[in-house]
Structure 1
Amino acid sequence: MINKLYKALTNNPESELAVDLPEAAVLLPITDHPRNPEIIFTLRAAHLSTHSGEVAFPGGKRDESDQSLWFTALRESYEEINLTADHVTPLGRLNPLASRFGLKVVPFVGLIPSQVALTPNLDELDLIFRAPLAFFLEPRHLKFDQIEFFGEFYQIPYFCYEQFKIWGLTALMLVDLLNIGFDADISCDWPQRDPEIIDKFVSMKNK
């Protein structure tokens, strides 16, 4: 399963998002278990002013001192879940997305040891949890919400794993992972993939 994902990510041409937004990066960590690899998620702390109580991947905004977005993803992963760079093997990157907070987010996929000890930074997270990659490959676990965005209605994906609802950019990154790595062929009409929609959205947020 991991070999298939790595080959697919390696052969997938990197896409860009033609918008002028501040950059951010996240790490989508997958464990190296040979039969049942798991994806690592975080639950954002309830006291945070943004993304509170949401399921996310470790990551954040690029600092001026960060030499690359990959470095940003690794730095944030260390700060949030105590995952050191020497425990991460890069597998590739997914397609960038625009967040509703006006950031261009680039997701990176990294392989980590199954037994690595992770500790949540309680200033930012309430907990860390794992879900089997195989769970997301079962079509019955994929669901859709309908949202209105600038007068148009869109179907956006989400997953429910145990007590956690995985939605928003995190769910979109998972769908991208499934489509690229496992030919899932999941159709997704998330409006912020359109640069014109993103520009309108960011202009509205800045008023």
Structure 2
Amino acid sequence: MDAFAAKPYSAADFRLRAVAERIDDDEEYGDHRFNPQHGPLIRRTDLRDAAVLVPVVDHGDEATVILTKRAEKLRNHSGQVAFPGGRIDPTDPTPEHAALRETMEEIGLDAGHIEIIGRIPDYVAGSGYRIAPVLGIVRPGFQLTINEHEVDAAFEVPLRFLMDPANHRRDSRMWDDKEWFYYDMPYGGRRIWGVTAGIIRTLYERLYT
């Protein structure tokens, strides 16, 4: 199958784009890309390693992406929309392993339903993490089991919506007496913003421009 045979927002087309992606070690994405004035605060030497799964569900011509709403009772980033994922443990041999493990722990999505197809460059978050976004195609027919200690809900958003730059709104807020810029992508009554929106924007810039 070539790029012209696959519909532009299908899982098949996403796979072709991901396989063609080449990561240059010198290329670094993250919150500093749109907050250059805070670069030293973001690109620190003590960054913690994490991985997330970008789970693209194969629904034929119109793929979707699974996102979660973090539990309100969590101490950090409570209630925020996020990709399934978390810290890379010393026992994780690869970021891919960590992303799959965390996905299973958070939403019960079994690795048997997931085909890992690649990665995009690491994303450096202002919260002190270097995040490896792992790209995966999810085969339909799965059942989710929500870990209520970590996640309040899981839901799907059309890939077409997320990869449309018209839905990537730039906004800012004051934090610690400094203005911070971020992307905001409201969808279906939920607010996709911050690091999650930043990773989505990176996905758009790397694969869809």
In the superposition, the TM-score normalised over structure 1's length comes to: 0.80
Identity of paired residues, percent? 32
Are residues 1:57 and 2:66 paired?
A: no
Residues in 2 aligned to 1:152 and 1:79: alpha-carbon distance in whole angstroms: 36
Are residues 1:118 and 2:144 paired?
A: yes
Counterpart amino acid of residue 113 in structure 2: H
Secondary structure of 1:33's match? Answer: coil
Task: Structure 1 unaligned segments of length 5 or more: list them.
Answer: 184-207
- Paired positions, count: 183
Distance 1:150 1:6, change over 3 A: farther
Are residues 1:8 and 2:17 paired?
A: yes
Deviation of 1:10 after TM superposition, in Å, equals: 2.0
CA RMSD of aligned residues (A): 2.1
Specify the alignment match of 2:195 in structure 1. 169
Deviation of 1:70 after TM superposition, in Å, equals: 0.6
Q: How does 1:11-160 map to 2 (within 5 A)?
A: 11-16=20-25, 17=28, 19-147=45-173, 155-160=181-186
Deviation of 1:11 after TM superposition, in Å, equals: 2.3
Counterpart amino acid of residue 3 in structure 1: A
Specify the alignment match of 1:182 in structure 2. 208
Deviation of 1:90 after TM superposition, in Å, equals: 1.0
More displaced, 65-74 or 2-11? 2-11
In the superposition, the TM-score normalised over structure 2's length comes to: 0.80
Distance 1:15 1:47, change over 3 A: farther
Counterpart amino acid of residue 167 in structure 1: W
Summarize deviations over 1:140-181 as a string: whole Å, max 9, x none. Answer: 322110246898756421100011110111001111112222
Distance 1:15 1:153, change over 3 A: farther
